[in-house]
């Protein structure tokens, strides 16, 4: 396989993984897989949550494709597809677990408009504690925060987490502009 074909396959896989992640997050994690994902919408106690099993589940296809492409003589493109899935997983980990949820302490503060937008969109996703009523299921592509706030307001703020100690206030992440 040529370098350009391999690179194209790798980059295409990374890009398509955003769509796959959206579908899995919207209809599996907030659907029949909520029993694992629910832990991610609650306060975490300790280093791990049940939701972390999704990382293991989603790593399996990447591992199988890399093994098949590198060691088992399968079509070489499988190596690059597996690498693209792994790259998306690394990007996801860096954005989601390190930057947004700060599971690894860092002093990083989003400065670009893009980073601010996706961080705020993900935080708006997390103001809803329930399986239904969430907004913004993507990770690297997200609607404008103003549109997400308007959608939460339109839904009557159903499932929106209350501020600690205040049974009537919306969370700080959901302040009217």
Site of tokens 């049974």: 167
CA distance linking residue 110 with residue 142, whole number of Å:
15
Q: What's the token pair of residue 132?
A: 């239904």
Domain boundaries, the chain: 3-155
Using the predicted structure, report yes or no on whether residue 163 has a pLDDT greater than 70. Answer: no
Q: Which helix (H) or strand (E) holds 22?
A: helix 3-23
To the nearest whole number, what is the mean pLDDT of the chain? 88
User: Given this model, what pLDDT does residue 64 score?
Assistant: 98
What count of residues does the chain have?
A: 177
The pLDDT-based confidence of 166 (bands split at 50, 70, 90) is very low
144 pLDDT above the threshold of 60: yes
Report the candidate in 16, 168, 161, 174 with the shortest Cα–Cα distance to residue 87: 16
* 30 in Cβ contact with 131 (< 8 Å): yes
Give residue for tokens 């899995």. Answer: 24
Residue-wise pLDDT tens digits, 5-33 = 999 999 999 999 999 999 999 999 999 99
* d(C-alpha 80, C-alpha 67), whole Å: 11
Q: Report yes or no: 153 and 167 within 8 Å, Cβ to Cβ.
A: no
Do 82 and 64 touch, CB atoms closer than 8 A? yes
Distance CA 104, CA 69 (A): 32
Question: Is pLDDT larger for residue 83 or for residue 128?
Answer: 83
* Region of poorest pLDDT, from 5-19, 59-73, 84-98, 132-146: 132-146
Q: What is the pLDDT of residues 99-140, one digit of tens each?
A: 988 899 899 999 999 999 999 999 999 888 888 888 899 888
């Amino acid at each position: 396989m040529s370098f350009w074909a391999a690179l194209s396959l790798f980059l295409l896989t990374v890009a398509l993984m955003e769509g796959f992640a959206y579908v899995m997050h919207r209809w599996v994690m907030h659907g029949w897989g909520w029993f694992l994902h629910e832990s991610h919408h609650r306060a975490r106690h300790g280093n791990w949550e049940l939701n972390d099993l999704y990382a293991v589940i989603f790593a399996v296809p990447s591992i199988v494709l890399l093994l098949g492409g590198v060691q088992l003589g399968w079509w070489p493109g499988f190596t690059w597809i597996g690498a693209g899935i792994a790259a998306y997983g690394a990007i996801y980990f860096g954005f989601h677990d390190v930057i947004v949820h700060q599971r690894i302490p860092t002093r990083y503060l989003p400065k670009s408009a893009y980073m601010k937008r996706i961080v705020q969109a993900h935080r708006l996703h997390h103001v809803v504690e329930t399986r239904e009523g969430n907004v913004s299921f993507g990770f690297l592509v997200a609607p404008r925060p103003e549109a997400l706030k308007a959608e939460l307001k339109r839904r009557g703020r159903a499932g929106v987490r209350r501020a600690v100690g205040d049974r009537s206030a919306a969370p700080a992440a959901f302040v009217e502009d």
